[in-house]
Structure 1
């Protein structure tokens, strides 16, 4: 029998840095309204939710409420359950791409002092999706059109 421990976010966010006694900004770099944590950054943050809206609305795909979701992994599971089975595989790639771009935006704000708009991040995700499709991510190509 395999015993699985809960997956924990190992990103270098402020909550993790504080646990290790390091200096860290407490407030989220994206929304400036809540304490930064992995779960907040990747699914609870108002900036991230607007990015998801910008990606999913044109595809007519729903997203779950953040209420009642205890973690980003639980929110991802809820997201998959809302989508038709035909788009779930591409949706997994899309989830990875969106969270990667959100993380890059957070780091640009944190380390370079650069700030992008939601529309710019959405555009970057669409552009990145096109590159992934050209590189062979066919399931993603079924849900995102260039």
Structure 2
């Protein structure tokens, strides 16, 4: 009959008594080995990363909306009627005509009795910047 070893003795058939070779404590009085709570760590990490992604998404969404608004203003000005070559850095005014078209002019809104759509400035990239 095999002699039964007590639970607090580390013994294996292949290794024998090898408690001193193990990387962890094996005696009854040794500190308890606890598993770290990685679930809460993962949860906090996921929440932080999701907030970061949401903030970045909102920033990109705002940039996209601003870009689309700039595109629409530029399309409106470039599709308007004007019979001169605009100068970079000058301020121009966009007006609505009675026939449904738009006209670009140097005349200020207080000097002309037409429906004023907006005031623009042509920048060095040939992009119309909406001023008012």
Report if TM-score (shorter chain) is over 0.5. no
Higher relative contact order (CA 8 A, sep 6+): 1
- Looking at secondary structure, tell me which structure has more helix per residue: 1
TM-score range, shorter chain: under 0.3
Based on CA coordinates, which of the two structures has the bigger radius of gyration? 2
TM-score if structure 1 supplies the norm length? 0.21
TM-score if structure 2 supplies the norm length? 0.23
